């Protein structure tokens, strides 16, 4: 696993202290995970000494230790830190390019894999369907699960939760276009017909691709990078997936594996700063889509069509 962490100012020292704690308490992290720090030029990292007292005796308190370390951020820092647009695409590119593998499974940090996913996915990626297709992206369906329920560990437990309304497709309520093209109903119907099928296979191909589609996918590490002009919220992941589609990638939904988000997301009124970032990125997209058209000479979603204005 390759993880990129945004660490301006004293957060660099906080991150280093916390990672030392995690590796001490959970040694496998040092063997299986690489961490990469990023920071803005106007808020360079401060490597101040931070000590966690009785570290080894607090391995059952990861959240408490983190909250304690975060107290080292003073009010002056928080005043600019909370307004700073989060450079999501910079971090995605850093994490991906330091992974060092032929295939990359690109996910957000709050997405939880089911047990054994890495092993079964690795086996699939050495199979003929994966090796034959040079421009395939393999979509891993993602569900969000009610926090009152245990996380499902296989398809039967997931489908049981879904039938009770305690699991549903990721972002279904907050922004349906985010995952809609995956066609979860088709995936669920297939799983019910083949409950004992072993090994990872392709369930179906995505045939209704739309602009705001943001699947979590596995692909070779030669896909377009994430455009780092997009900062904060809006147009960060979907623009990269859009460029993949324009450049000729096809998307294929895998079975029976899936990933999870713990907690059901609901619509809330967005803060003004988030909407401001989204609007800024929307304006940047106008230039981005023209560049993509110039790069590939294709416009499969008719994004370059000019809007007709009504004369009064």
For the chain, which ranges sit under pLDDT 70? Answer: 269-270, 306-312
The number of residues in the chain equals 312
Contact 130, 137 (CB under 8 A): no
Q: Domain boundaries in the chain? A: 2-81, 100-262
Taking CA atoms, 242 is separated from 215, 217, 245, 259, 288, in Å, by: 11, 13, 5, 22, 11
Per-residue model confidence as pLDDT tens digits over 204-249: 999 999 999 999 999 999 999 999 999 999 999 999 999 999 999 9
What is the reported pLDDT for 269? 64
Q: What is the pLDDT of residue 196?
A: 77
**DSSP class per residue in 297-308:** S--TT-TTPPPP
CA distance 287 to 229: 11
Per DSSP (E only), the strands in the chain are 2-6, 34-38, 103-106, 112-113, 136-139, 142-145, 167-169, 201-205, 217-220, 250-255, 259-262
**106 in Cβ contact with 216 (< 8 Å):** yes
Query: What is the structure's pLDDT at 306?
Result: 61
- In this prediction, residue 310 carries a pLDDT of 44
Local structure of 133: helix, strand or coil: coil
The secondary structure of residue 224, as a DSSP letter, is P
């Amino acid at each position: 696993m390759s993880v990129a962490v945004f660490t301006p100012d004293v957060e660099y020292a906080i991150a280093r202290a916390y990672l030392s704690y995690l590796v001490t308490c959970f040694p496998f992290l040092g063997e299986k995970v690489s961490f990469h720090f990023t920071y803005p030029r106007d808020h360079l990292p401060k490597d101040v000494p931070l000590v966690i007292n009785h570290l080894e005796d607090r391995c059952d308190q990861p959240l408490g230790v983190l909250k304690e370390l975060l107290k080292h951020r003073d009010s002056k820092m928080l005043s600019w830190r909370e307004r700073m647009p989060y450079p999501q695409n910079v971090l995605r590119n850093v994490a991906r390019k330091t992974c060092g593998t032929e295939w990359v499974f690109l996910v957000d940090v709050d997405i939880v894999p089911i047990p054994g996913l890495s092993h079964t996915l690795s086996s699939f990626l050495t199979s003929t369907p994966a090796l034959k297709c040079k421009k395939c992206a393999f979509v891993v369906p993602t569900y969000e699960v009610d926090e009152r329920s245990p996380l499902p560990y296989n398809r039967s437990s997931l489908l049981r939760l879904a039938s009770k309304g305690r699991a549903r497709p990721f972002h279904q309520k907050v922004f349906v276009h985010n995952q809609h093209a995956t066609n979860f109903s088709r995936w669920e119907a297939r799983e019910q017909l083949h409950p004992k099928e072993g090994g990872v296979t392709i369930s179906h191909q995505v045939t209704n691709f739309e602009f705001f589609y943001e699947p979590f996918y596995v692909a070779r590490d030669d896909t377009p990078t994430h455009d780092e002009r997009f900062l904060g919220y809006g147009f960060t992941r979907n623009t990269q997936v859009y460029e993949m589609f324009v450049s000729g990638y096809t998307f294929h939904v895998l079975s029976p594996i899936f990933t999870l988000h713990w907690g059901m997301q609901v619509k809330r009124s967005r803060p003004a700063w988030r909407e401001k970032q989204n609007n800024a990125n929307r304006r940047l997209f106008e230039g981005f889509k023209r560049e993509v058209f110039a790069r590939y000479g294709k416009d499969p979603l008719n994004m370059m069509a000019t809007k007709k204005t009504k004369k009064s």
